[in-house]
Amino acid sequence: MTVVAIKPYIGEVRDRVENFHGNQLLFIAWEDHLFFASPYAFPFSPSMRFGDILEHVLPATYGVHPDWIKVDWSKAEWRKSGQPWVPDTDKSLAENGLKHKDVIRFRTPGLTGIKGSFS
């Protein structure tokens, strides 16, 4: 996520990849579900398999939403840093081209929040 400052930053940048002990931040958001107000930030190892996020991390994060049990991953639409993207669940985050502070968003067609309210 690129930011352009209008004046020089003064101070120590604390979210540098070097500060995460071999992990990197990955931001993940579920589109059309404002029940979750913003992307979640996770510190993951670049060697972590993408499928482990789907199987273990996202259910613990989004599983409280009633739409969660209806998610069909074969129909999910993904975006990486604003561009269409197709992850390979058997490959690592690094092999999927994910880097420190990347943002990924997923849509689940047909699921638009509680009673279609986008919440």
The CATH number assigned to the domain holding 52 equals 3.10.20.560
If you ran DSSP here, which 8-state letter would residue 117 be given? Answer: S
Query: pTM of the predicted model, to two decimals?
Result: 0.86
Q: Does residue 50 form part of some domain?
A: yes
Residue 110 structural domain: 25-116
pLDDT tens, per residue, the chain with 119 residues:
577 878 887 888 888 877 777 899 999 999 999 999 999 999 999 999 999 999 999 999 999 999 999 999 999 999 998 899 999 999 999 999 999 999 999 999 999 989 889 89
DSSP H helical segments within the chain, as ranges?
50-52, 58-62
Q: Does residue 96 form part of some domain?
A: yes
Angle at 51 between CA 57 and CA 65, to 5 degrees: 40
Q: Does residue 10 form part of some domain?
A: no
Count the domains in the chain.
Answer: 1
Q: Does residue 13 form part of some domain?
A: no
